Structure 1
């Protein structure tokens, strides 16, 4: 000690910690480079999910001629990726809880981006629909698993902020949604490919680009380890300690004393996970595997978890129906309203305009003679503003959530969105109606809070499955919203906005019943 230099600590020196739980061990780690990089990747993964599911909205608005789509078919194409997500959510949740978070995220991202590239070369509506279904099937693995994966690298006191940080990155990623189609789709070029029987237009290139964020995220995640909490719950204590040490080394840049754990003690959550692992290892054959899947799922619909599962699923359903389902037709409706304004129509409700002009109820050649391969520039500008508001909103929520609490944030979002959705029916000033429509779709601002709550409400051995099932109901809301507009937009337009707005208000009431929702986290914790 006498010969040591305080300003040059020995890198080999270790601080030995005994008798700590995994959460306590994670709380000892300095928040640094590893955490920020992982947060950025998690945000990019959710950007990939957004591009793969919502990016098709811009394609639908301009690909009507090439794919010969009716309004109902547009609803199907806009929703089919969510169908793939719904079908596979249970599978990926089970595999993530039993095989590993990272082992699900990486391959599913690679597969989804590959299929997206292939779909850009499809020549018919049904062919591209099948590809979009498969894209949704695989992107679901990353969508449902990334929150548990990110959260399990953080202690209880930093987990919410990490997830909200990823949502903030996702908010910046949202800006790609209007920016990329503006840069790509409004170009005049086309490239005939006789071998495939298609003309490769800008909307096809944009569709292919939608797969890039997922591919980049998968490559980046190859350098990151499995979740330490998952590894420890599998009984591999030494590997979990190695992962924690790896985080410490990256965060300290090997310049400081690095605490080295001698061991980790089990808490109640980890003990339950190890019991579940023992049951899994004793399962042989298909019947036993299905029984295990059931045992993995059934606790979510039994006490003490049933109430919270139902609440979170309902909230996800309502948010996705408005934020994603209503978005599928947004670029096309917005473009139609802007064209009407340019034609001198200054006083009309959104629904009167849609029903008088017809959003596009036929896929026949006569109708397609008037369809366009480009969108009004203001359509991109207003969509960009919408996504910019999401970005700022995620940042503000991340800063104030521990101060004001999750409930107040959710109530403000739900009530504002609900009232705006209902007002769209009656407002006869097109520009104001456009803004109200945009506010209706901002229900997604509460999604980051809802996912944070879901991660906190369930133990490790049920967490990924809980997120998967709640998101499955969210995607069901997206399918319902997109097809609701496809079926009713031309004939019962007022009803569609009334349902969406009312559902947001109901979500505001349901949020009061979330367990421990009134509890705030002290910033000093």
Structure 2
């Protein structure tokens, strides 16, 4: 077969087909995202479960729950820079290893300060995992399936909170307690749970060791031969054919922007960052950052405190209380809880089962979204989801029917589906040499707002619960309006290399 010179990368990638390699890559990225989610959301279960032993106050618990987000904010930019200059796979392997070590050590914390420091380190290490895995997946997936897979990874992310809940159900009630004199701690159930939550990071490191670097990244840094070899390997795995049958002889990076070379660490970071804040990328950077901020400040705090909220809500329902709204149920449960050293700090098992069910439900809905996104369009879906979520939040206080309150809360939290939609915008609108940096930066902006949201929501749930739903619901409406300004999804069709070859011959 005659091979073609200077094939645009996207056309060359399309010619590798879609098959086993892409499925395996999706599973690898899913394990990375699971490791990140387990680290970030582990505080939702570990903070209340450790309250008896560590004797933490409500304010200290709020700080402990926000620490992972602070770690994400502190280092996202750094990991994005490394991924754009050193490679996606290499950086992911290093960061996930560090996260596993720090996360596992948190299980042996003698006090809440040590716990917070180790969680800060583990979350700092894993802060770029979501963005980098999304970037890696997008750069090895043909365009026709790219949005579907990127959005589908959010289903994995949404399942994680549910999986964590179902893991916690048999572990947290365990009554064993072994004294460790060296650390002056009691090794008990919440510490075991912490160790279990750190395992996905270790598993993802093993997968990354056997994986391939992004061929698009290699092409962008001038390593065309290595990129072509990976593309041939992908072609062989997907099609069960010889590499000689891959019709591409050489590739070119079909982007409007060129990579800038700079000497020195800070000069290099500057080169990777400044283009994001200059035309033609400036508008998209500002718009996506603001939208991420709004979506994250509204939705992420409710995901963090979902076990806490569900625990109070379901405790009230099980007591048979009637004629009160969601916030009154939460207050009644709080008033009955006084944390003492000998108390059982394990969460309500039925509540954890409900968290698991909510996680699976959101994952199912997100899977449906990933299959219809090409039909209805990302922009239209994002606006619709945001409008529905905001409306549900504004209606929570007006019902005293417990199951309707639950439906409205779940509907509001379903706004997390827009995490995947926004991420799919990011991986499409930025050129390769700043893509990882852009995704990390916009996510960092969103998670930065979530730090404020986590602490604000906990305070409002304890003191101004009804007001919290009006505030967060109104802010969510703003993101729906901004959705109309997001970039157009229309793209010119790619040329068919086979047709071009046939015409030329």
Normalising by structure 2, we get a TM-score of 0.92
Deviation string for 1:329-382 (max 9, x for gaps)? 221222122222333322222323444554799xxxx74258433222220221
Report the more deviating stretch, 462-471 or 55-64.
55-64
- Of 183, 196, 199, the residue aligned with 1:212 is 199
Superposition deviation, residue 416 in structure 1: 1.7
- Of 128, 135, 138, the residue aligned with 1:148 is 135
> Does the Cα contact within 8 Å between 2:235 and 2:243 map onto a contact in 1?
no
Within a 5 Å distance, the mapping from 1:183-222 to structure 2 comes to 183-222=170-209
Superposition deviation, residue 65 in structure 1: 0.9
1:234 and 2:210 correspond: no
Deviation string for 1:437-478 (max 9, x for gaps)? 222222111211110111111111121111001110121132
> Does the Cα contact within 8 Å between 1:488 and 1:496 map onto a contact in 2?
yes
1:47 and 2:61 correspond: no
Q: Partners in 2 of 1:79 and 1:359 — Cα distance?
A: 24
Q: Partners in 2 of 1:15 and 1:49 — Cα distance?
A: 45
SS in 2 for 1:199: strand
Deviation string for 1:198-251 (max 9, x for gaps)? 222212111111111111111111111211111111111111111111212222
Provide the aligned C-alpha RMSD in A.
2.5
Superposition deviation, residue 133 in structure 1: 0.6
Cross-structure match for 2:266: 290
Q: Partners in 2 of 1:65 and 1:226 — Cα distance?
A: 46
> Does the Cα contact within 8 Å between 1:427 and 1:433 map onto a contact in 2?
yes
> Does the Cα contact within 8 Å between 1:62 and 1:371 map onto a contact in 2?
no
Deviation string for 1:298-357 (max 9, x for gaps)? 221222222211221122222222332122222122212222233332222232344455
Cross-structure match for 2:431: 459
Cross-structure match for 2:344: 372
- Of 300, 310, 314, the residue aligned with 1:334 is 310
1:251 and 2:223 correspond: no
Within a 5 Å distance, the mapping from 1:159-174 to structure 2 comes to 159-174=146-161
- Of 452, 466, 471, the residue aligned with 1:494 is 466
- Of 398, 407, 414, the residue aligned with 1:435 is 407
Cross-structure match for 1:78: 65
Cross-structure match for 2:364: 392
1:272 and 2:258 correspond: yes
Cross-structure match for 1:177: 164
SS in 1 for 2:17: coil
1:351 and 2:351 correspond: no
Q: Partners in 1 of 2:333 and 2:207 — Cα distance?
A: 47
Cross-structure match for 1:475: 447
Cross-structure match for 2:501: none
> Does the Cα contact within 8 Å between 1:402 and 1:520 map onto a contact in 2?
no
Structure 2 unaligned residues grouped into runs of 5+: 497-505
SS in 2 for 1:420: helix
Report the more deviating stretch, 339-348 or 196-205.
339-348
1:115 and 2:102 correspond: yes
> Does the Cα contact within 8 Å between 1:232 and 1:240 map onto a contact in 2?
yes
Cross-structure match for 1:503: 475
Within a 5 Å distance, the mapping from 1:309-320 to structure 2 comes to 309-320=285-296
Cross-structure match for 2:300: 324
Report the more deviating stretch, 497-506 or 24-33.
497-506
- Of 391, 413, 418, the residue aligned with 2:385 is 413
Deviation string for 1:31-81 (max 9, x for gaps)? 111111001111121111111111220122322111212222111111100
Q: Partners in 1 of 2:102 and 2:389 — Cα distance?
A: 35
Cα distance, 1:433–1:61 mapped onto 2, change above 3 Å:
farther
Cross-structure match for 2:3: 16
Normalising by structure 1, we get a TM-score of 0.88
SS in 2 for 1:368: coil
1:301 and 2:285 correspond: no
SS in 2 for 1:440: helix
Cross-structure match for 2:85: 98
Q: Partners in 2 of 1:256 and 1:520 — Cα distance?
A: 30
Q: Partners in 2 of 1:21 and 1:333 — Cα distance?
A: 51
Superposition deviation, residue 513 in structure 1: 0.3
